[in-house]
Structure 1
Amino acid sequence: MSTAETVRSSDRDQALRAIVEATSAAIADDPDKAHARFGATGAGGDGLRTEIRIGGHTVLVDEPPALGGDGAAPNPVENALAGLLSCQVVTYRFWAAKLGIPLDGVRIDVEGDLDVRGFFGLDSAVRPGFAEVRLRVTLDGPAARERYRELAAAVDQHCPVLDLFRNATPVSTRLVTGEAG
């Protein structure tokens, strides 16, 4: 790593530690400040495309041609894997800063196995979601291997999207329909 990259990494780590400390102090004073709500809204477009608004961002989701889409964007399960991957990267960065573990780089590869018989209702014994998801995490930095194991354990314990994959989350659906003609 170059001197400039080391300075940027150190500045980033200090900024992340400051966020952790400020958040911890704010929550200590008022635990209600710990609650955050996230949301997205979307609508179907051409074919199987979905245009999603998340804050000030627009995200396109599509299916590959083999599943009836145009392949114009990642499909929903690829986006789920991308959400897990990106949340892991963020959690590694925050926890490395919090634990004082130097982390020069983090690379994550993720893959999941899905049997489409569940989605298409062809076999009721097959779940529609992933049967298994695998992460391969590569960490670069000067710390001892044991420190990176400590970091990985902290990430596994605190990554919000990993928690979604590992644990059932209550989901409620409210169906709204147009007026009956």
Structure 2
Amino acid sequence: MTSLNHYLSEKRSAVLAREALIEAGNAGPNALVARVSAEGRSGVRRIRIRDHQVISDSPPDFAGYNLGPSSPELQLGVLGSCVTHIFLIQAAHRQVPIDSLEVEVTGRIDPRGGRPGHEAIPIWPHDIGYVVHLDSPASEADVKALFEAVEATCPILNLLRNPQAIRAEVKHKRTAPQDKRAGAEDAIA
């Protein structure tokens, strides 16, 4: 099995180039956009980000077809992906060798949350934690410093630890009731 060390040398070049742009004042905020649509008949959520698509679905016990991970599962995956990426960035920056890296994220969600008799149970994913499985010849001190740097700089980890207000609005386009639309479609045919 190959190690991550060849990749880390490429990552180091990219990290240093990005830092040079920032230090030169040639970097600024990046706009992030994700669009999600619910698809007819299945209710599957299609997530579109840049040129990529991800399908999110529910398990059968929640009227889903199990065609993809649920939103809470995706959230844990997003956290794990970000922690993993920041480990790679920090390892490249600090020149800490890594043979292999895997991040396991766990959490709980309880369908009883917020219901009568279960008001104290959160309706959101909770008891979230992660374990980093790291194979490296680095010293314990280097790995500890690497971990502390990841904890301090991981954007999604810090977003979840320090939530922010989220703006929201609904843009409603009123359509004809379903029974009238069905009659109109029949008249056209």
The two structures have a TM-score, normalised by structure 1, of 0.87
Task: Confirm or deny that 1:153 pairs with 2:113.
Answer: no
For residues 1-181 of structure 1, the aligned pairs below 5 Å read: 5=2, 9-30=4-25, 33-45=27-39, 46-118=41-113, 121-122=115-116, 123-179=118-174
Q: Which runs of 5+ in 1 are unaligned?
A: none
Code of the aligned partner of 1:116? P
Identity of aligned residues (%): 26
With 122-131 and 48-57 compared, the bigger mean Cα shift is at: 122-131
Mapped partners of 2:28, 2:14: distance in 1: 13
Q: Calculate the aligned-residue CA RMSD, in Å.
A: 2.0
Mapped partners of 1:153, 1:85: distance in 2: 16
Code of the aligned partner of 2:30? A
Mapped partners of 1:10, 1:130: distance in 2: 34
Change (3 A) 1:150 1:96: same
Q: Give CA-to-partner distance per residue, 1:135-181, whole Å, 9 cap, x none.
A: 11111011112211111111111111111221112211121000376
Mapped partners of 1:139, 1:172: distance in 2: 38
Larger Rg: 1 or 2?
A: 2
Mapped partners of 2:113, 2:30: distance in 1: 33
Count residues in correspondence.
Answer: 174
Mapped partners of 1:95, 1:127: distance in 2: 34
Query: What is the CA distance between 1:117 and its match in structure 2?
Result: 2.5
Q: Which runs of 5+ in 2 are unaligned?
A: 177-189
